[in-house]
């Protein structure tokens, strides 16, 4: 048996006595695609990619009618590769919930990251919106270590989240403790789903001082048609890099898209996004179209075509995020990806 797989099994077995006291579920996702990727210059190849596949354990335990303890342990599983990672690479936390809302501690998606959800039509696929929103050291779509997060109760569809992350590092042989604050206001209704988020990171969090605002929304026009919209602005303030780099990473990103259900289990999807940087000739546009068919509640298949058109100094691609197949892009070129995928949730 593979040593890393054995370590996972042993770790899970060691956790079983604790899990026996809770209502525990084992869950996961196997998400694999075959892609033809072309950077517009020298790279043009077919790949097999594992796309945010995962295995996890989660459970809860009622302490009394007004207080529940809950936990989750989640690991990325890369089909076809050896990623050499530990058993807490994805959302892993413990917390308490009740009439007051919920508090959790651990490593998990920030409120800012989660706020893209209403507009996220191609998550973990070729054409994922993070290919334009999560660029370089100014990125905010993060899963932070050492995080405490409070979620409010549901107020007629509205919820709020406030996260605080402590970053422990060493700078010039001195221990430095800095932080990131992330917050969001979310709404989920029968017709409208929306989120607005703000995140701010201090200078010594590893990538420099930065702040961002994000808005995402979805509107159900009919039972078959949903329109989505997205906006993000990021201000990168790192004094340790040149003004040119700060301008490259300071950007506004806008997106519009739609989903049309042509049958109960089949949907056509499309999205356009543009990233406008403060730097000259550093903008990128992305177009994505796709079709997805759910074989049942657990299994779906899909096919997408995505294109990123870069200005002379930009080298983004439509495939760099949440995938094991992620070759670099080429500056000033059109990068294209054609993908056929299978996703099985269990």
At residue 341 the predicted structure's pLDDT band, cuts being 50, 70 and 90, is very high
Spatial contact of 63 and 76, defined as CB atoms under 8 Å apart: no
Q: Mean pLDDT highest for which of 12-21, 83-92, 100-109?
A: 100-109
pLDDT for res 21: 57
Stronger pLDDT, 2 or 23, i.e. the higher one? 23
pLDDT for res 286: 98
pLDDT for res 126: 98
Least confident window among 84-93, 101-110, 114-123, 256-265: 84-93
Q: What is the mean pLDDT of the chain?
A: 90
Does 1 score more than 70 pLDDT? no
At residue 62 the predicted structure's pLDDT band, cuts being 50, 70 and 90, is very high
| Phi, psi angles (nearest 5°) of residue 169 | -150, 180
Spatial contact of 95 and 71, defined as CB atoms under 8 Å apart: yes
Q: Stretch 26-37: mean pLDDT, rounded?
A: 96
At residue 14 the predicted structure's pLDDT band, cuts being 50, 70 and 90, is very low
Stronger pLDDT, 188 or 15, i.e. the higher one? 188
Stronger pLDDT, 177 or 39, i.e. the higher one? 39
At residue 18 the predicted structure's pLDDT band, cuts being 50, 70 and 90, is very low
d(CA 139, CA 235): 10
pLDDT for res 66: 94
pLDDT for res 205: 65
CATH number at residue 94: 2.40.160.10
Does 7 score more than 90 pLDDT? no
Stronger pLDDT, 154 or 238, i.e. the higher one? 154
Spatial contact of 228 and 258, defined as CB atoms under 8 Å apart: yes
Does 222 score more than 70 pLDDT? yes
d(CA 243, CA 300): 46
Q: Stretch 83-95: mean pLDDT, rounded?
A: 77
Q: Where are the alpha helices (DSSP H) in the chain?
A: 3-19, 111-114, 130-133, 243-249
Long-range contacts of 197-204 (CB under 8 A, 24+ apart): 197/111, 197/112, 197/114, 197/115, 198/112, 199/110, 199/111, 199/112, 199/140, 201/140, 202/167, 202/178, 203/178, 203/237, 203/238, 203/239, 204/167, 204/169, 204/171, 204/176, 204/178
User: What's the domain count of the chain?
Assistant: 1
Q: Which domain holds residue 178?
A: 3-345
Write the DSSP assignment of 215-230 as a string of letters.
EEEEEESSSSEEEEEE
DSSP assigned state of 322: S
pLDDT for res 84: 59
At residue 9 the predicted structure's pLDDT band, cuts being 50, 70 and 90, is very low
Does 167 score more than 90 pLDDT? no
Q: How much is the pTM?
A: 0.88
d(CA 237, CA 16): 46
Does 85 score more than 60 pLDDT? no
At residue 206 the predicted structure's pLDDT band, cuts being 50, 70 and 90, is low
């Amino acid at each position: 048996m593979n040593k890393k797989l054995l370590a996972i099994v042993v770790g899970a077995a060691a956790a079983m006595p604790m899990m026996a006291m809770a209502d525990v579920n084992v869950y996961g996702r196997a998400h694999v695609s075959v892609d033809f990727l072309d950077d517009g210059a020298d790279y043009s190849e077919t790949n097999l990619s594992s796309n945010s596949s995962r295995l996890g354990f989660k459970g809860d335990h009622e302490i009394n009618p007004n207080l529940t303890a809950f936990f989750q342990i989640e690991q990325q599983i890369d089909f076809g590769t050896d990623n050499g990672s530990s058993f807490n690479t994805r959302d892993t936390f413990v917390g308490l919930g009740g009439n007051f809302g919920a508090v959790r501690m651990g490593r998990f998606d920030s409120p800012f990251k989660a706020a893209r959800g209403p507009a996220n039509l191609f998550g973990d696929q070729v054409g994922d919106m993070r290919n334009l929103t999560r660029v370089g050291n100014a990125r905010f779509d993060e899963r932070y270590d050492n995080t405490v997060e409070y979620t409010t109760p549901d107020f007629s569809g509205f919820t709020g989240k406030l996260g605080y992350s402590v970053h422990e590092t060493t700078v010039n042989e001195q221990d430095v403790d800095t932080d990131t604050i992330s917050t969001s206001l979310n709404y989920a209704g029968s017709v409208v789903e929306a989120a607005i988020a703000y995140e701010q990171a201090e200078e010594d969090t590893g990538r420099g001082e930065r702040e961002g605002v994000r808005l995402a929304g979805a509107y159900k026009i009919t039972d078959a048609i949903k329109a989505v919209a997205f906006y993000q602005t990021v201000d990168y303030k790192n004094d340790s890099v040149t003004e040119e780099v700060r301008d490259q990473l300071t950007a506004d990103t806008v997106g519009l898209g739609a989903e049309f259900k042509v049958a109960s289990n089949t949907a056509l999807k499309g999205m356009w996004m543009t990233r406008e940087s403060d730097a000259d000739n550093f903008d990128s546009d992305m177009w994505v179209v796709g079709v997805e068919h759910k074989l049942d509640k657990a299994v779906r298949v899909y096919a997408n075509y995505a294109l990123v058109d870069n200005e002379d100094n930009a080298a983004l691609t439509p495939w760099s995020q949440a995938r094991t197949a992620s070759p670099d892009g080429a500056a000033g070129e059109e990068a294209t990806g054609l993908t056929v995928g299978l996703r099985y949730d269990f």
